Amino acid sequence: MKLHTIRTEYKYAELTENNIEKNPLKQFDYWLNDAISAKVNEPTAMSAVTVGVDGFPDSRIVLLKDYNENGFTFFTSYNSNKGKAIAKNPAVGLHFFWPELERQIRILGFAEKTSGKISDWYFSSRPVLSQIAAFVSDQSSKIPSRGFLQSQFENVKTEMGSKNLKRPENWGGYLIKPVKFEFWQGRESRLHDRILYENKNGSWIISRLAP
C-alpha cells in the first residue's frame, strides 16, 4: 500500500470568527455534543499528554468523565506513570480527534487531584467488576503474567461477591484547569481553520492560526 496515495479532502464544516463562541468551554460543549450526536466511536476518548519523569513527553488515551467551568476530569491510578508524571509536573495536554467530523481540539492546562468525595462518587458508579479491576491492577507496574492478574481478580471477586469495594486511596480523578484551547476544523486544500483561545488575566483572547 502506497501510504502517500491515501488522501482525504476535508469538506464537512467551517469554523469562522462569526460562528464560534466567545467562551471556549461553550464551544467545546457544542463540538462534543456534535460528536455524540454523530455517534462517533468513543466520543469522550482523549489523549492525555504529560511530561514524563524522564523528561520525555508521554501520551495515552483516557475517558473524559466530566467537564464544567472548573475544568476537565478523568479518573486513573495516582501511582501510574501518568500519576507520577503529574506529581512532578502538573502541566497536561488533552487532545480530542473526531475524524468523522474532521475536527480536533487541543487543550493545555494544569492538573490537580479531584476531591475524595468526587473520586468516591465516580468509583462507586462503576460496575463492580471494574472496581475490582482497579483494585487489583497496580497500573503501569511490571507484572509476571496475565495469569497473575487474572488470579488476583478471581480471588477478590470470590471474597467480595457482589458487594461494592471501597475506592483504593491511590485511585481517583484529575481535574485539568485549562489555560489554552485550539479548535481545528479540516478544510479543503489543507486550508484548515484553527482558532486559538488563550486565557490572559481571566479573559479569553481569540486568535486565528495559520494551518
Ligand X SMILES: Cc1cc2nc3c(=O)[nH]c(=O)nc-3n(C[C@H](O)[C@H](O)[C@H](O)COP(=O)(O)O)c2cc1C
Q: Which of 10, 31, 74, 197 binds ligand X (CB under 6 A)?
A: 74
Hunting for cell 487541543 — which residue is that? 106
Helix orientation angle between 116-125 and 128-136, rounded to the nearest 10 degrees: 120
State the virtual CA torsion across 168, 170, 175, 181 in degrees, nearest 10: -130
Q: Based on the residue annotation, tell me whether 126 is a catalytic residue of this protein.
A: no
Among 70, 89, 140, 199, binds ligand X (CB under 6 A): 140
**To the nearest whole angstrom, how small is the minimum distance from the Cβ of residue 59 to ligand X?**
8
Which triple of cell numbers denotes residue 34? 456534535
Q: Which is nearer to ligand X, 81 or 114 (CB)?
A: 81
Closer CB to ligand X, 13 or 149, in the complex: 149
Contact segment (CB under 6 A) with ligand X among 3-11, 71-79, 155-163, 193-201 equals 71-79
Does 63 bind ligand X (CB under 6 A)? Our answer is yes
Q: Looking at the chain, list the stretches that DSSP marks H as alpha helix, in order from N- to C-terminal side.
A: 24-37, 81-88, 116-125, 128-136, 146-160
What is the identity of the amino acid at 137?
S
Residue ranges that bind ligand X, judged by CB under 6 A = 42, 45, 58, 60-63, 74-76, 80-82, 139-140
By annotation, the residues acting in catalysis are 190
